[in-house]
Structure 1
């Protein structure tokens, strides 16, 4: 069981609100980081495939990016309340989708790095090691839950 403090939950909540205040800009920023970190990753996303740039005001991009951050935020809440990320229908579906799309462990690391860079930019001078740790733990625990479902799907 992971120890996730009330303070860590509060840090994720407040920075989530910052992120949520401008979904179009922040999801665009997130996918820009994903492609900078791993250019080949753009072929994994239908809304980026075959494009030389990250499209502005693309609803599919905004929805997908928003889900990544919302699920990580929800993972933080669950960790604070229950000490684990609860596997629900969405996580089970994500496991299946990630298997179908050919997602592998290194892809999770790319997304984590992009999540952290995005939050760092979104919060500006509020960024600190505690905030980095809180988002890292929440993301890592969500990734563990998704990977578990991916393994269950593959078996």
Structure 2
């Protein structure tokens, strides 16, 4: 069906609320991802050997902020998707990680916007995220195929 103008408006409206406290929301987003799927830590070099989520770690906070802002900007189509497939492939991201990120993103947004949340808003963010994930997965497949060709 695609991403409608109404869905885009819902995403942008909720993003205005979220932008008011990006550091808090980014930390919540990334913490949720690691709570949902602790194995995600293995793709983050400074968390590989950690058994806990280091919420007070400056590297963790900075990384969470970067990832959250990037995901949000990509969903909002504010930045190009260049090279994301390659980066995700190198980090060992697999299909299930995309679902984890989606769940964490939607839960973070729901908490952030409070009473403004609706199923329609969740659907809008979900559709936007699904389109983003599909694009990155396609890039990953293309990069993997190119890598395979180079190695033959």
| TM-score bracket, shorter-length normalisation | 0.7 to 0.9
Q: Give 1:9-88 correspondences, 5 Å limit.
A: 9-51=8-50, 52-56=52-56, 58-74=61-77
- 2:141 is aligned, of 127, 151, 154, to 151
Counting matched residue pairs gives 141
Q: Give 1:127-146 correspondences, 5 Å limit.
A: 127-146=117-136
CA displacement at 1:47 relative to structure 2: 4.6
- Give the Cα separation in 1 of the matches to 2:32 and 2:26: 10
Asked whether the 8 Å contact 2:26–2:65 carries over to 1, the reply is: yes
Q: What does the per-residue CA deviation read over 1:19-45, in whole Å, with 9 as the maximum and x for residues that have no partner?
A: 211111000000111011111112212
Normalised to the residue count of structure 2, the TM-score between the two structures is: 0.84
Structure of higher CA gyration radius: 2
Name the Cα RMSD after superposition: 1.8
Asked whether the 8 Å contact 1:28–1:54 carries over to 2, the reply is: no
User: Corresponding residue for 1:117?
Assistant: 107
Specify the SS of the correspondent of 1:8.
helix
Asked whether the 8 Å contact 1:96–1:149 carries over to 2, the reply is: yes
Asked whether the 8 Å contact 2:74–2:81 carries over to 1, the reply is: no
Asked whether the 8 Å contact 2:34–2:53 carries over to 1, the reply is: no
Normalised to the residue count of structure 1, the TM-score between the two structures is: 0.83
Most deviating of 90-99 and 11-20: 90-99
The unaligned stretches of length 5 or more in structure 2 are 146-152
